[in-house]
Structure formats: structure tokens, C-alpha cells
Structure 1
Amino acid sequence: MSVLFSSSVLFLPTMASNDQSKALLVAAFDFGTTYSGYAFSFRDDPNKIQTNQTWFAGGGAAMLVSLKTPTSVLLNPKGEFDKFGFEAEDKYATLAEDDEHHGWRLFRRFKMVLHNNEHLTKDVTVEDFSGKQMTAFPLFVMSIKYLREHLLKAVTTQKIGFEETDILYVLTVPAIWDDNAKRFMRDAAIEAGVDPNRLKLALEPECASIWCETLGTDVKGAVAFQGSQFMLVDLGGGTADISVHERKLDGTLREIHKASGGPWGGIYVDENYMKMLNKLFGEKALTDLRETEMNDYFDVTREFEHKKRSFDTDKTKQIIVRVSASLRDLAEKYSSKSLEEQIASLKVRENAITTRGKDKLKIGTAVVQSWFKRPIDLLIQHLKSLLAEPKITSVRTVILVGGFGESPYVQERIRNKLAGVRLIVPSDAGLVVLKGAVRFGHNPSIVSSRIMKYTYGTEVCEHFDGKKHQDGEKVCVDGKWLVPKCFNVFVRVNEEVRVDQQVSCESYPNGEISDTPVYRTTQKNPEFTTDPGCELLGDVELENSTDIPFEQQTIKTTLMFGDTELLVKQKNTTTGKEAYMTFECFK
């Protein structure tokens, strides 16, 4: 720990690295809970953004064409990467049909392990399709590596003589994510072969805001004029990610409320649908379908994905879903009750769920709406509370993006519940984040400031001051009265920080190794790092000179907040030695 002698903070400008500013192409990866994809554009025509056009499911009646592919990874029996996306699911299903899938492992929707995980480490595990655990980090690495290699093939077919070193990579992350989760993704990308000097993390709702100003008059007119304020809701498979922005005179965006959100995405509608199938056909029948008729299982889930996206109470009174004849056969094998009797036992309104032939269900809108109810109710409740806050009462435009945001029913619910608010849904809402991420990579300075979600600082010793310290807090060190474990605040929660600012303070070492813990808290004015709610993020270990008296050496500690990631750097300005923070959870 170091001894603080200067508690003032210095604001220093930062500059983009040469590797980033020289990029000839920007490529963005959107690593989603349910679907992932990439987009790119060349520096000489940055707004001509290209996406992959060839993701598609295996075929048949439930074929799903998409500009993204499922976030699914297939490992062979040796634990090696084999396939990603639709190809991973289809191959696993084909293997299962021939009873050759034993030892193969399929992982789906594993990104949610990073959401709100207070004890995140690189040892965190996820379950495969059969319920067996595996360390998650290699799956993220494999996924990013696959997307990167797929992208490189697409790019090299267009540009002769193009080098991989000409690319700046942008990886999108939810704005509500923790610092640890962002670092997890950065480390995974680097492990996947991405040069850390050519990698930027981008906040998903910010990317959406950036792309919206390029859209048609309706959207652009709401977000592109000076002083316009708007809320951006990125509603994906796993989470709702919400930011509030204002357009400044110079055209940049400033954040006017810290990012917020919650686990209110489309996968919770899927879960409710599967719970209904579970009640109708039985848990054992569904388990057997997953294990013995996997193609049918994926057809069921993919078809529902399409129905969920297009569900609209204004245009239909019911939806018809294909559930596969094999599922009904399995249900009859394990239960003496007919499907019609099982439907009656659900106690829904008469004719709310009826059969159509052997492999279809007709489901009334009231039942379908019930699957959407909880996640959308929680989202609307949160949006109402945000819009009622004094600092953003003038915000009357909400822009809805993300795959789940494409649902007409979701849009209808939000419009009906947010009185006096204009809801805008851009076309191709599921690709807005991805395209905005490419534009952000070409011009990161388009976001000028962000609101801090935490108070950040370091643990230091302060010289005892009878006006602010209690006698019981002081200790004697080398004849001096010091107060240990003081929270030296660099920036406070809800404070606006410019993207081009660094916050620094100076101290002197009290030993050969300066071990400086870095803390955060949601409290605005913490005094000690032992105060309730203070959390250790990591520490910086800096080697000092033993040839120079410690009091003649100066340590400059710099925290860089304004970018999408937290970076903590220390420099002994006397010796020139430097060190960076290591996150506690990744040691």
C-alpha cells in the first residue's frame, strides 16, 4: 500500500492507439445469448456495412433463415471444437438420430453466465445439452475464433493483398455488464487470436444509438438534432440493456443516466413455452425427444422462435405451432391420458389450446400473451421508473432495438403502457447494434461522455488528521501517525466522465513493492474500504527502487474510466517502472 500525499485528481487527455487509427477495415462481433453474427466495412466507405448472408438452419418446414446464427458450440469426443451455430445444432441432431452422439457435447445460450455474476472467474462452468458441466471460458474463445475466421474468409474474397493486421475488431457487450464480465470477454478475444492493440469493446445500446442517426427521417429526426434526448432499449435474447443519451452541439453523444436493465429477454418466453409443452406431453417425453429425435426438437424450438418474433395480436387470434408427431407418440407411450385430456387439465379457457392433426397445436392469443407477461411487465415497470426520474423527465422518445424488440406484441405492450412516449422501432432492429458497432469502430469519439455506475478508488494510508479521523483509526508507522484502509476516491457514482479523460493522483511508496488495492462501491462518499458495500476489484503491484529513499519516489496512479473498459495504471515517475491492475477474480 502507498501513502497518499496528494489527494487532488488530474484530468489527462487520452489518444487512440496508432494500430486502431490506421485500420483499413472495422469488423464487429455481436456475441449474443441466443444468436451471434458479424459485420464489417472498409475505411474508404465506412457506411457500406456488410453482414454475412448465409446463416441458415438445416431446412424442412421449420427452416429459419437469419442474418445471425445460434450461439451454439459443438465439441467432438476429444473436447475439440467441431462446429458453431446452426451447423453445430444440425450435426449434433444428425449424430443423435444415428445414436452416434455419445461423447459429443453441444453448448447453447451460455452467455448468460456472465450476467450479474458476482463471483465470476475464468473457472465458471456451464451445462451442455445433456446437463454435464464444463468450464465456460474455452467456449467463448472457440466462438470468437470461429466468427473471426469466418469473417476473414469473407473479407479476403473481396480485397486482394488485404492483411489481417489491417483490421480493427469491435466486440459488443451489454452496458449493464460488470467490469469483470467485460474483462472476461476481452481475455477470450485475445485468447482467440485477436491482437489486443486492435480490439475495442463497445457498449451495445451506445452502438444502437450511433446507427440510428444514419436511418430514415423518422428515426434520424428524433435522435440527430442538437439537444435531442432519447432512451435506447436493447432487448435481446437474455437481457434488456438500457441507456439514455443526449446529442451534443458537435454531434457526439453524452450519456445522461447510468446504464441499467435486467434479465428480461426473449429466452424467458421460450422457457414458458417449453413449460407448457412439458405439461402437455410430459417431462419424460420431452427428454426423450431431445435425446432420440433431436432434429424434431430443434425444429420445434426454431419454429417457435419464428412465431415469437412475428406474434401480433392485431393480426391473429391464435398461433399454430408444429410439435412433431414423434413427440405425441412419446407422450402416448408414457401416459394413459390423451393430449386432449392433458389440455383440459391445464385449466385454460375452452378452445384456448386445441389440436390440429397429429403434429400441430392451435394456441389462443391469451395463452401466448401469458408467456410474454413476466419479462415484459418487469421491463415496463423499470422503464416507467426511469422516465419518472427528475433528471430525465424531458425524455419522451424510446428507441427499441434487438431481436426480441422486433416482436410486434412487445412493441404494442410498451406503446400502451408508456403514456406520452414516442416509441420508435428501426427496421432490422436485430442488426442495429452490430451495424452501430462498426460505425463506432471507425469513430470511437462519437461517444463523448458516460455516467459512472460506481464510485471507484484505491486503498491508501492517509496522514492522521484530527479534524476528519478518530483516534482509534490511527496507527504509528516509522514514527508517523497514519490511517490505513482509506478509500481514496477517483470518481463518484452518477458522475459524468469524458471519454478522453484519465483521473490520476500521486503518492509515495512505503516499501519495495507497492500493492495498491482498487475498490468500487455504489456509495457516493465512502471513507474506508471496509465500509459496507465496498468491493475489491483487483490490485496493482509495482516494484520500487531500494536505492532511492521511498519518500523521494513518486507513484502516479491513473484510472481510465471514460472508455468502455476500466483500466488502472501505476507508474513510478522516479524510476519509470509501470504496472497495471490485475482483476481479483482472474488471478
Structure 2
Amino acid sequence: MDTPIVAAINIGDIYSQCGISRPCDFDDNPSRVHFLAFETKFNEITFQLPTSLLLNEDMEFEGFGYEAEQKYISLLENGTHKSYYFFRRFRMQLHSSISHCSDVNIYTFDGTKKLPMVFIFSLVIRFFRLRVTSHLSIRFGVVDDEISWILTFPDSWTGLYERLFHEAARKGGLKFGCFSTLSESTAYIKFCKRIKEEQIGTKLVIVDCGLRHIFRNETMTELHHESIGILDGTSIDRDIRSLLRAVIGPDIYCGNQNRHPERDQFLREVQANICRNSLPVSVKVPLSWQQRIQMAMEDERYKDKIYLTGDKLRIANNWIFERFEVAFSQYMENVNRLIDKTIPNEIVIMGDLSHIPIVTQFIKSNITAHYGKSVEDKLAAVEGALVFGHTPKLTALVDSKYKFLIELSQSDLLSANMGNDNKLRENVRTVSLSSVLDKSEYKIKVLQDRIQYPIKEINFDDVEVHEKVIFLSDPLSQIVLDDKHEIADIFSDIYHQEWSDSLESLIENGYSEKKGVFLLINILRESQSLVCKFIQAQLWQVAAIFNPELNDVECSFELPDEIRDEVKAWQRINFKEYIPHVQEYCENELSKKSFLPEFRNWSLTNYMKSIVSNVWRMTVSEPEMYLDWTFQENTKIDNSVVQLFNKSGEFLDYPVWPAIYGGKEGNILRKAIVQAK
């Protein structure tokens, strides 16, 4: 066979897919694609599998997708799961930080064990390879050497992850020279070029419903949350989990899934209801929950939100719709601002969440501009990869992080003059901002007597595509820098998630509740102090440029307001590039503190990292956000600024979590949590 059959594999954050395209079919109609089909637990046929992998105690393959999830649920119910390795949505772990070592590991779903990235991905690739080769061998008599493989990877992966992914493909049984890798955004472009009608004046608008954040420095990062759920990490998912925690109580909704596996099963069913558009959500609950739910229904806060019908908890449609409306409101403003209303627009909705009807319906109903048609395709990455596999020489791989733009002024770069000279002028010199606390280098540009933002060169390797396409951020997981309400939301989420999991872990290790709370508060306070020290060191390095006599980071110095403001802006915008190093520095310093326990499990480490990242954003905000710890024992509780922890009373015993303000003299954004007596 002169022209090989092309097979594409997309191992996604939430779902994974695999497709096949024969040369004869592609020549007749590029849309003629065969997707591997699988059966769900609802006896439905799907072309997607959950990105879940189960291994036994000997690290041998037990199942992937729905098979892995169902087997793991059975193991949980029988209490025989502890020796198994269950990985769920494991690709998300590779977006949260950049590893600088060759040994990249992925943690199991419960965070107790880990295995190398190469090993995990090689098993998944092998799973799809065997399915494809078996199918083609039976149907067409095709052997391995007659298949060309295309594997997609997320745009946030850089050199190391790409190299390890390539190694995983080899260990998964793909022969050298018989496979290629392709970024997901490039696959999207190939898909869109195939479906786009050649109509002069029509603009293609791609709405990417993956799990991505867009930042104003034109970079993209993907979201990582160690939580369960089809809407992992989104504000909607957080609302569902917060509602469940409030209704059934934190003792059941805790970080230890081994003690309460029914919680995970319940959340899976809720998410499945939403994905199937089965509304109102109605899920069977354990008998032990029903009395708590009945008590919660009498609370005014949950009136018209939840109902108990027999043994099923129903969540009202209005509450679900309101959650989507809140999550989408700011996003849809950005969408409508970017769309040119004077010309026809074609809307393409794709990504992991594009299969949820309520998502696509909301997007289409809230677009104010005229659009000729809309396309939803949850399999776009695979289809685009297959197009690339048949026409590899026609695709120029581009640096995808410059394709994701959010500001209207930035979108004008798409039609920029290619003749512009982007080189730095001679009077611009690069200055290292490597902190004395952290030896890694971060560079800014200094022009004579003032600091500029880093100049980024934009490559237009595929000009025709770039002039036609605008990528929009994910509506369900947007973070807009400098938005203090967003920062406050994340701070609140840390309390509900990482803080709660850490407290549960401390109690299991012999701490009293009060002692555990004080330990977590100390970690927060010390982290805030260390972050301020790190930021001050960066400012000192800039000051040393203008005053070479400065020789000690602890000495006093003055910076012109204009320069200080620009450095602070640089710290706000680019923090994702170096926050892993700040986290490492703070973790090392905290480990020297006497109050920190000798054991530091996954939940406590994750709490420290989340705190450092969020406190950094608070500190570099303008004005600096303020945490209020000033709550005195035996003072009367003021419900306007505090919420109660798990006891009722009129007087304060001790603070549990600080209040957060927009500034020292600003408005309160989130109330403090206190224990009453």
C-alpha cells in the first residue's frame, strides 16, 4: 500500500478519542471518518472514552475509559481498591506546573501513589493501537506498517513533555517514522479549514470549550484541579460541590474518598445528568443522607434548590441554569466584543465540553451578532489530525500560544503588516531578574530609564489561516487577571477544597480540630510573609540597575513610581511563568519551621502550593489586597463580616479563615470564617 491509512489518537483532559481515515475515503470526501465506538454504562454508543486508567497492584493494565471507572467503583464498594492504581483525568496534572527534571510523575486519583508519565501514556496509546490494528486487520487485512499515526498534545506542553510523549508513543508500540505529534490548536485549524465554506468576507470564530485559561500576556495555560467531575475546575462544578458539602455536611464530603465512595458516585451521576441534558437532575442518594437532606430543605438558603422525592435528590433546573449564566456572563461579553457584527460569522464550538447541550445552547443564544451557521464538534481534534495525516506538507506548525487572544486590540495583530520589524532596538538591553532567593532567570527589557513589557515575536507561518481565525477562551474556566473578585473566588475555593482536605488529613494523623486549624493558618501567614519577601527581592534587583551601590536585598531603596508600577504590572501578568519556583522556595522555607509536622502528604503540599499562588496575586494587585486576621476571642460575632464554622453562638472563640478585602481601605469581598463558643 503506497499511501498509508491514517489513525489519530487524542488523549484529552476529560475524554479521549481515536479515528481512522483511509486514503480512498479522504480523496472522495475528507469528512468520511471512522471513529472507534464504545458502549457506555447506560448502554449508549459513544465515540469518546473518559480519560481514566486502572492498573492492578502489579501495575498491569486492567481497563481504560468506562471499563476502568466501573471496575474502580466496584473495588471501592468492596473495599479492595487500595492496592490498585486508578488515574482519572490525569493529563490535567501536566498543565499545573512545568517540570525541569526528566522524571515526570502522575499521581493516582486519590493522590496516594504515582507512576511515570511515560508509562501511563504508553499504556493508553497501546490500548488504542491494539483496538485500531485489530479493527483494520479484520476489516481490511491491514498490518501495522501500513498505518500512519498522528497523536495530539495540548498547546501548554513544551519541549520536555513533548519529548516524553514521543517516548511514550514508542513504548506504546508505535514504530519510529510511523507516527507524528500535533498540537491540538493546529488540529483545530485543520478541522476548521476543511469545514469552512470558501465565502469571501466570512469570519470563522472558534469557541474552545476545553479547560483553558487565557491570560492578557497572550499566553494560554490549561487548568488542573484534583477534583472529580465532568466540569472539573469550573465555577459550575465548584458550585455543585459546595452545595453538596453544605447539604450533607463536611464530615461526609471530605477529602477521604475511601471512607465515603458514595459521594463520588453521586457526583458522577449529577454530571452524567447534565451531560445527557437530563434535567432536572435526579440522583439516588444513600439512606444515611436522606435525613440531612430533609433538614437542609427546611433551610431558607436551599429553598427551591433541592427536593427529596423518594430516595432521589432532585436539583432544580433554575439553579443549574443560573450557575451556567453566572459562568458565561463575562465570557459572552468578550465573545460579542470580538465578533465583527458587520460581516457574517461562522461559529465553531469544540473542545471537551462541547458535547453538553446546555453549553452549546447558551453560547448560540447569547451571541448578538449575525452568524450564518454554527458547528459543534467534540471530535474536532481527531478529525483535524486526520486531515494533517493525509496532507502533512501543507501544514506549517506554529507556536500556538500566540493564537489565543482575548483583547480586541490584540486581535488586530492577526492582520498586522508582515514587514514590521520586531527586533529590539539597540538601546534596549536585557536585565536578569533572577532573585537572590531563586536562581532561575526571568527577563524583562529595560529601555534607558524605564522598563517595558517583554517584546514577544509573533510568527505568521500560516498567514491565510491566522487572518481568518480568532480563538476565544473557555467560557467555563476563565480567569481574568487583576479581577479581585476572581482572586477572592479562588481564595474561597482553597478554603472549601485544599484547606478542608488538609484539615481532614491532620485530624486523621492525631491533630485536634483546633490545633489543625491553627497550623493551616500559620502556613497561610508564613506563606504571605515569604511571598512579600520574594516580591521585594525582585524590586530590589530592578533598583540595583539604577543604583549599583545597593549590595543587600534587605537595604532600603526607592524606585520611581512609574518603574515600580511597571514592574508590579509585569509581576501580575507573568506570574504563571515563575510561580512554580516561588512555590518551591516557600515550601523549602516552610519546611524549616518548627510548627510544620514531619509528615507532609499530598493534600498538605497541595494546600501550600495553592496558597502561595493565590497570595502572590493578592500581593501584586493594585492596591494590594488585604487579609483580615484581627478577630479577638470573646468578642461578639458580627455577621456582616464573618461566617460561622461548625458551631453556633454569639461570641467568637478563634478565627478559622481570614476575611479578604479589595485593599486595606477597600470593600470586603469574602467574609471570614470563625469558630463560635
TM-score norm. by structure 1 comes to 0.60
Residue by residue, what CA displacement relative to the aligned partner does 1:205-229 show, whole Å, maximum 9, x if unpaired?
44344345655xxxx43xx335643
**CA–CA distance in 1 between the matches of 2:309 and 2:171?**
51
Query: Is 2:344–2:371's contact at 8 Å kept on the other side of the alignment?
Result: no
Residue by residue, what CA displacement relative to the aligned partner does 1:107-146 show, whole Å, maximum 9, x if unpaired?
1011112225234644344432333141450222222222
The alignment partner of 1:44 has SS state of helix
Rate the CA distance shift 1:24–1:214 in 2: closer, same or farther, 3 A.
same
Report the CA distance between 1:370 and its aligned residue: 4.2
Matching of residues 25-44 of structure 1 within 5 Å: 25-44=5-24
1:331 aligns with 2:284: no
**1:304 maps to which of 270, 274, 279:** 270
Matching of residues 202-351 of structure 1 within 5 Å: 202-212=182-192, 220-221=196-197, 224-225=198-199, 228-236=202-210, 238-239=211-212, 260=220, 263=223, 266-267=231-232, 268=234, 269-286=236-253, 290-291=257-258, 294=261, 300-311=266-277, 319-324=280-285, 326=286, 329-331=287-289, 338-345=292-299, 347-348=301-302, 350-351=303-304
Query: Is 1:454–1:493's contact at 8 Å kept on the other side of the alignment?
Result: no
Report the CA distance between 1:438 and its aligned residue: 1.4
Query: Is 1:204–1:234's contact at 8 Å kept on the other side of the alignment?
Result: no
Query: Is 2:280–2:315's contact at 8 Å kept on the other side of the alignment?
Result: yes
Report the CA distance between 1:29 and its aligned residue: 0.6
Q: Which residue of 1 aligns with 2:369?
A: 420
**CA–CA distance in 1 between the matches of 2:366 and 2:78?**
50
Q: Which residue of 1 aligns with 2:458?
A: 494
TM-score norm. by structure 2 comes to 0.53
The alignment partner of 1:107 has SS state of strand
Rate the CA distance shift 1:452–1:33 in 2: closer, same or farther, 3 A.
closer
Rate the CA distance shift 1:344–1:402 in 2: closer, same or farther, 3 A.
farther
**CA–CA distance in 1 between the matches of 2:100 and 2:382?**
26
1:357 aligns with 2:310: yes
Report the CA distance between 1:366 and its aligned residue: 3.0
Query: Is 1:452–1:495's contact at 8 Å kept on the other side of the alignment?
Result: no
1:368 aligns with 2:342: no
Q: Which residue of 2 aligns with 1:149?
A: 130
Rate the CA distance shift 1:309–1:240 in 2: closer, same or farther, 3 A.
farther
Unmatched tracts of structure 1, length 5 or more? 1-20, 243-256, 313-317, 456-466, 474-484, 500-530, 537-587
**1:435 maps to which of 383, 386, 390:** 383
Q: Which residue of 2 aligns with 1:56?
A: 40
The alignment partner of 1:157 has SS state of helix
**CA–CA distance in 2 between the matches of 1:203 and 1:240?**
17
Query: Is 2:152–2:181's contact at 8 Å kept on the other side of the alignment?
Result: yes
Rate the CA distance shift 1:42–1:397 in 2: closer, same or farther, 3 A.
closer
**CA–CA distance in 2 between the matches of 1:306 and 1:186?**
33
Count of equivalent residues:
416
Rate the CA distance shift 1:385–1:183 in 2: closer, same or farther, 3 A.
farther
**1:102 maps to which of 69, 82, 86:** 82
The alignment partner of 2:461 has SS state of strand
The alignment partner of 1:172 has SS state of strand
Instruction: Tell me the amino acid that sits aligned with residue 496 of structure 1.
Output: F
The alignment's C-alpha RMSD in Å is: 4.3
Query: Is 2:280–2:317's contact at 8 Å kept on the other side of the alignment?
Result: yes
More displaced, 121-130 or 191-200? 121-130
**CA–CA distance in 1 between the matches of 2:372 and 2:52?**
33
**2:112 maps to which of 112, 132, 145:** 132
Rate the CA distance shift 1:304–1:67 in 2: closer, same or farther, 3 A.
farther
**CA–CA distance in 1 between the matches of 2:400 and 2:11?**
24
The alignment partner of 1:29 has SS state of strand
**CA–CA distance in 1 between the matches of 2:181 and 2:364?**
32
**CA–CA distance in 1 between the matches of 2:102 and 2:370?**
42
**CA–CA distance in 1 between the matches of 2:428 and 2:241?**
60
Q: Which residue of 1 aligns with 2:46?
A: 66
Q: Counting strand residues as a fraction of each chain, which structure ranks higher?
A: 1
**CA–CA distance in 2 between the matches of 1:279 and 1:163?**
56
Instruction: Tell me the amino acid that sits aligned with residue 32 of structure 1.
Output: G
Q: Which residue of 1 aligns with 2:357?
A: 408
The alignment partner of 1:285 has SS state of coil
Residue by residue, what CA displacement relative to the aligned partner does 1:120-176 show, whole Å, maximum 9, x if unpaired?
64434443233314145022222222222222222211122x221221111122345
Query: Is 2:21–2:33's contact at 8 Å kept on the other side of the alignment?
Result: yes
Rate the CA distance shift 1:431–1:292 in 2: closer, same or farther, 3 A.
same
Report the CA distance between 1:28 and its aligned residue: 0.5
**CA–CA distance in 1 between the matches of 2:191 and 2:214?**
16
**CA–CA distance in 2 between the matches of 1:471 and 1:339?**
64
**2:153 maps to which of 173, 178, 181:** 173
Unmatched tracts of structure 2, length 5 or more? 225-229, 404-424, 432-442, 446-454, 464-566, 579-677
The alignment partner of 1:37 has SS state of strand
The alignment partner of 1:193 has SS state of coil
Residue by residue, what CA displacement relative to the aligned partner does 1:61-107 show, whole Å, maximum 9, x if unpaired?
xx664211111111211233322111111122223333322311211
Instruction: Tell me the amino acid that sits aligned with residue 97 of structure 1.
Output: E
Instruction: Tell me the amino acid that sits aligned with residue 212 of structure 2.
Output: T
Query: Is 1:168–1:199's contact at 8 Å kept on the other side of the alignment?
Result: yes
Residue by residue, what CA displacement relative to the aligned partner does 1:378-424 show, whole Å, maximum 9, x if unpaired?
64355456558xxx997833311234123333234333544215284
Report the CA distance between 1:319 and its aligned residue: 0.8
Instruction: Tell me the amino acid that sits aligned with residue 379 of structure 2.
Output: L
Query: Is 1:96–1:292's contact at 8 Å kept on the other side of the alignment?
Result: no
**Larger relative contact order (C-alpha < 8 A, sep ≥ 6)?**
1
Residue by residue, what CA displacement relative to the aligned partner does 1:490-519 show, whole Å, maximum 9, x if unpaired?
x962231259xxxxxxxxxxxxxxxxxxxx
Matching of residues 568-583 of structure 1 within 5 Å: none
Query: Is 2:7–2:20's contact at 8 Å kept on the other side of the alignment?
Result: yes
**CA–CA distance in 2 between the matches of 1:342 and 1:239?**
35
What fraction of aligned residue pairs are identical, expressed as a percent? 20
Query: Is 1:280–1:342's contact at 8 Å kept on the other side of the alignment?
Result: yes
**CA–CA distance in 1 between the matches of 2:457 and 2:361?**
35
The alignment partner of 1:194 has SS state of coil
